[in-house]
Amino acid sequence: QSRRLEDFREEKNATKETFQMVAPLEVDVVFDKFPFKIVTASLLIELSTTFDDEHEKRLRPNLLLARKDRRNNIAVQSPYQDDEIDGGKIWKKIEKLKDKMDKSECYDLMTPFPKIEYFQDTKKNYCPKFKMTFYLTEEGSSKLVAIIAPMLLISTLNTLHVFNSDTPDTV
């Protein structure tokens, strides 16, 4: 159940908000040896503070983290609502999840599960931000074809030229 900040001020209870967003990711190259390229796409999310004018208090957001089972801290949406694992084949479900999440034309997801880093403010003893990092690959086969195809064309034309018995006319 979602509540507004005004309701929080009246009831003094915690709030929960859920939303979707499209945000630009910061892309960094991790590995680049021809024809393969691995990059990371990161997004730093920081929850902002607000000020309660009525009580003259600063309200700081705090991420409540599960220490025993870290899988509870972030959830990746399942690929389809009523999809079940077929005969224990989890890889099929992971591939469907990659297809649903990956809208990039240049890169492919290595895994749909991001690396999560939390940043704790030790002076004020709260955790206001975290960073999600996805590992992506740039497919190398297109680069390989771009180099090999012209070389094959040149070698084919040279072979045809050698086997051509006609001598060029000279003036």
| Token pair listed for 37 | 């390229």
pTM for the model: 0.61
**Residue 4: is its pLDDT beyond 60?**
no
| Token pair listed for 119 | 């940043």
The angle at the Cα of 22, spanning 18 to 28, to the nearest 5 degrees, equals: 120
**Residue 81: is its pLDDT beyond 70?**
no
- Which residues on adjacent β-strands are paired with residue 41? 27, 134
Per-residue pLDDT tens digits for 117-134: 888 888 888 888 889 899
pLDDT score of 1 = 39
Per-residue pLDDT tens digits for 151-164: 999 999 988 888 87
**Residue 61: is its pLDDT beyond 70?**
yes
Q: How confident is the model at residue 83 (pLDDT cuts 50, 70, 90)?
A: very low
pLDDT score of 31 = 92
| Token pair listed for 129 | 């931000």
